[in-house]
């Protein structure tokens, strides 16, 4: 990426950007096996050399994180206590299912263990045996496909193999 800057104190921006990219790549590759503090210091030195107003390439984040505010967590846990499914809450709040479960655990709420009870199990087995696939059944009961698969096993039904799309 070539960036032209007329600022008299501006260093070779292309060289600076290449160095930043190399350090960023090193940090990504080495991950937790490295000492990120040393690379962080080098990166800070390079950024400090860039005069105010010079464009610096931004490295886009690979993961979009959505951190919930305390009020949102309180509403999420209240919905769970009123019977909302964890899968539905994860979708509604745009967070991972394990994050929903972590918020529930941190709130001290005892998790519901049997998501498909015996009465629902008969319906799940009936629909599956009639040819319906696991995913639509999971959506109907607001659980994960894995929960439906485990319920089928509990009901004595061996799930079919995955169909290949073609």
pLDDT, tens digit, for every residue of 42-79?
777 777 777 766 665 565 656 667 789 999 999 999 99
Verdict on whether the full-model pTM lies above 0.95: no
> Is 40's pLDDT higher than 80?
no
> Is 123's pLDDT higher than 90?
yes
Any idea where the domains of the chain sit in the sequence? 1-62, 70-106, 118-154
> Is 128's pLDDT higher than 90?
yes
CA dihedral 87, 92, 96, 97 (to 10 degrees): -20
Count other C-beta atoms under 10 Å from residue 76's C-beta: 23
The predicted pLDDT at position 114 comes to: 64
């Amino acid at each position: 990426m070539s960036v032209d800057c007329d600022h008299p104190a501006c260093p070779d921006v292309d060289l600076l950007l290449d160095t930043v990219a190399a350090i960023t790549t090193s940090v990504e590759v080495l991950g937790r096996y490295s000492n990120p503090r040393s690379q962080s210091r080098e990166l800070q030195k390079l950024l400090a050399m860039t005069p105010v107003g010079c464009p610096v390439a931004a490295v886009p984040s690979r993961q979009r994180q959505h951190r919930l505010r305390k009020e949102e967590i309180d509403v999420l846990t209240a919905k769970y206590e009123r019977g909302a499914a964890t899968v539905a809450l994860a979708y509604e709040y745009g967070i991972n299912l394990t994050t929903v479960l972590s918020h529930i655990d941190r709130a001290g709420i005892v998790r519901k263990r049997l998501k498909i009870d015996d009465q629902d199990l008969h319906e799940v087995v009936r629909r599956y045996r009639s040819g319906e696939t696991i995913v639509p059944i999971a959506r109907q009961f607001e659980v994960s496909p894995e929960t439906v698969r485990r319920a089928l096993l509990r009901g004595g039904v061996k799930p079919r193999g995955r169909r290949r799309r073609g």
